[in-house]
């Protein structure tokens, strides 16, 4: 994290904590001018609706406007992690244990750079994913990209369900 990221995290996290929410991620993209984007992801025990996100965005915007490190213009994006979320910090991995994940590594691990399976465990330095019945431990510093995978469970189509007739015995 850069000094600006750390400073903004230290300002925003207590505000969200007071709202019983968690600062899930903070990312600053671009540099100065109108190209700088501050992305903030907020998580909580209950889903956040658009009205609540707008309210939080206004509060966070006021705090950021007072920060000298953001003296130039910026665009603020506030949202929630969503169904398929990026995994960037150890806490993200720890919160996603038992979920399906996709991880792309810099080098080969178990003869592959692509690892899709169930996240079994995670600590401060690595995670373990079960891929095709085998566990792979992947150090965080070897990860290029990681995210959870949302699988849409399809139910039976209306009107297509089989109905059993009376049983005769």
Residue 40 sits in a domain of what CATH number? 3.30.300.70
- Reported as a pLDDT band with limits 50, 70 and 90, residue 33 is low
CB atoms under 10 Å from CB of 18, counted, come to 8
Token reading at 82: 């969503």
- Chosen domain end from 54, 79, 104: 79
In a domain, 161, yes or no: no
In a domain, 159, yes or no: no
Nearest to residue 41, comparing CAs of 11, 1, 75, 85?
A: 85
| pLDDT beyond 60 at 11 | yes
- Cα–Cα distance, 117 to 79 (Å, whole number): 26
- Cα–Cα distance, 146 to 127 (Å, whole number): 11
pLDDT of residue 156: 58
Q: What would the pLDDT profile of 127-163 be if each residue is shown by its tens digit? A: 999 999 999 999 999 999 999 998 877 765 665 555 5
- Contacts for 130-138 with beta carbons within 8 Å, 24 or more apart? 134/110, 136/109, 136/110, 138/103, 138/105, 138/109
- Cα–Cα distance, 115 to 145 (Å, whole number): 11
Residue 140 sits in a domain of what CATH number? 2.30.30.100
| pLDDT beyond 60 at 168 | no
Domain of residue 47 covers: 3-79
Number of domains forming the structure of the chain: 2
Per the confidence metrics, is the pTM higher than 0.85? no
Among the ranges given (12-16, 38-42, 104-108, 153-157), the one the predictor scored with the smallest mean pLDDT: 153-157
Comparing 33 with 145, the larger pLDDT belongs to 145
Work out the average pLDDT over 68-97: 85
């Amino acid at each position: 994290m850069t000094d600006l990221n750390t400073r903004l995290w230290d300002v925003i996290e207590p505000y969200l904590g007071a709202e019983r929410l968690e600062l899930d991620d903070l990312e600053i993209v671009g540099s100065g001018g109108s190209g700088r984007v501050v992305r903030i992801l907020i998580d909580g025990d209950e889903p956040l609706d658009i009205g609540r996100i707008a309210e939080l965005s206004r509060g966070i915007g006021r705090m950021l406007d007072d920060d000298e490190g953001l003296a130039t213009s910026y665009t603020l994006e506030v949202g929630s992690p969503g169904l398929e979320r990026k995994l960037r910090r150890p806490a993200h991995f720890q919160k996603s244990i038992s979920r399906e994940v996709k991880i792309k590594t810099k080098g080969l691990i178990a003869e592959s750079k692509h690892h899709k399976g169930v996240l079994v465990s995670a600590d401060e330095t690595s995670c373990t994913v079960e891929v095709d019945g085998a566990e792979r431990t992947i150090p965080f510093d070897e990860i290029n990209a990681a995210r959870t995978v949302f699988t849409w469970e399809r139910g039976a189509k209306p009107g297509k369900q089989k109905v059993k007739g009376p049983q005769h015995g």
